[in-house]
Structure 1
Amino acid sequence: MAEKSFTDKQIQLARFSKALGHPVRIYILELLSTQACCYSGDLSEQLPIAKSTISQHLKELKDAGLIQGEIEAPKIKYCINRANWERARILFKNMFPE
């Protein structure tokens, strides 16, 4: 089935779902949801994985639009993208109506 057969909502929901598909990313999102922002270096102190692996997970979340990053040399500050989280919440809610 060609991707053109899918609606924009289905494609967006799939992107959000893929980004949520790893426990490390869920951890990062839970952490970010409890604070205003977090620096990438702080994450490497809390997670027992390589900095390069954390960077890959952050990239996946950022590419999906669930987080946003701001460079404050030499660090990058990450925050939840509130607008896209609201969009994700609505899309998931509409997918699974009561």
Structure 2
Amino acid sequence: MELPNAMQRLETVANLWGKTSGLLVLIENGTQAGHRAIAEARDFILMISKDGGQEPAQVLAPCPHDLDCPRETQALGIPCTFQARYEEPFLTALEFSAAVHAVFTHT
């Protein structure tokens, strides 16, 4: 999330969460910074959904639980990532190869 600080990232996540019907997919580059941003957003959504008097949010991926991330608590320093192939949008594909492999982290 290319926002300058945690407060702006969390305000953006809260705004996005408020516009959903209970489903929000966040995807970030599979780097340490991307992993931390997704973990931050995941924890924030779980917290505000419990405090908001609504049905608590549930995490579906990458770990299908609401517990602390094992990679965070064990200080492994390994971001939770996966490789995916996707198609570039049409106009971008005109300039570059249409099929791309990239590493992502998600919640």
Q: TM class, shorter-chain normalised?
A: 0.3 to 0.5
Give the TM-score taking structure 2 as reference length. Answer: 0.33
Q: Kindly name which structure, 1 or 2, has the bigger radius of gyration based on alpha carbons.
A: 2
Relative to its length, the structure with more helix (as a share) is 1
Give the TM-score taking structure 1 as reference length. Answer: 0.35
